[in-house]
Amino acid sequence: MHFDQLERRGFIRLLGGAAAWPLAARAQQASIPVIGFLNSGSPGAFGHFVSAFRQGLGEAGYVEHRNVGIEYRWAEGQADRLPELARELVRAQVALICAASPPSALAAKAATTTIPVVFTSGEDPIKLGLVASFNRPGGNVTGVALLIDVLGSKRLGLLREIVPAASLIAVLLNPTWPTFDTQLNDVQEAARAVGQ
């Protein structure tokens, strides 16, 4: 065999291998898990939350673009967009949906019964209808509940200690928030209990 033929065969093999590299890279990319990140806010307002999310993933050995992908969906403060954004993540066949607000969690729960949904919530997830109980959440939804909504009565008590002569106290609540009724009832019950 002549040297030119050998060199040409090596070049053809190299060219064929180079053509297969993008295919191999795409196949490798497709094999990494993809997390869906669903939030009712905007990336600017929740940048610190995303950084903490990535840091937590990194501590667990998952690094974005290396061994895990993340599909971000932001409702930009328009909660009515969340159901469609959740359905987009389901259609993308993500391995998991991280729902970073109660409205996001409710939209993700409504969109799928098979993809795991992990939420963070300041409200009671049982009252929201996200889980059946704390001990046995059931279904495909689980998460962390900070139970901020039960602090309404504590805040009222603290405010009354700071300003004991106040006869009128206003509470600002978002009427479109899923737990508006619960928050309002909790504060009203606390006010009635102290004669406010």
The closest of 170, 18, 181, 42 to 100, measured between CA atoms, is 42
Q: pLDDT digit of tens for each residue in the chain (196 aa)?
A: 444 444 444 434 443 444 444 444 444 445 899 999 999 999 988 888 899 999 999 999 999 999 999 999 999 989 999 999 999 999 999 999 999 888 999 999 999 999 999 998 878 888 888 999 888 888 999 998 877 666 777 777 888 888 888 888 888 888 877 677 777 888 888 888 777 7
Task: Please state the separation of Cα 192 from the chain's center in Å.
Answer: 36
177's tokens: 């928030």
pTM here? 0.67
- 160 and 123 inside one domain: no
CA distances from 148 to 25, 98, 102, 165 (A): 45, 19, 12, 26
Report phi then psi at 133, rounded to 5. Answer: -160, 170
Q: Is residue 100 part of a domain?
A: yes
Write out the residue range of the structural domain in which residue 115 sits.
32-146
Distance, in Å, from the CA atom of 54 to the CA atom of 75, rounded to the nearest integer, reads: 20
Residue type, 24: A
- 167 and 96 inside one domain: no
Distance, in Å, from the CA atom of 37 to the CA atom of 71, rounded to the nearest integer, reads: 6
CA distances from 52 to 47, 57, 182, 187 (A): 9, 9, 29, 32
- 140 and 155 inside one domain: no
115's tokens: 């993809």
- 127 and 189 inside one domain: no
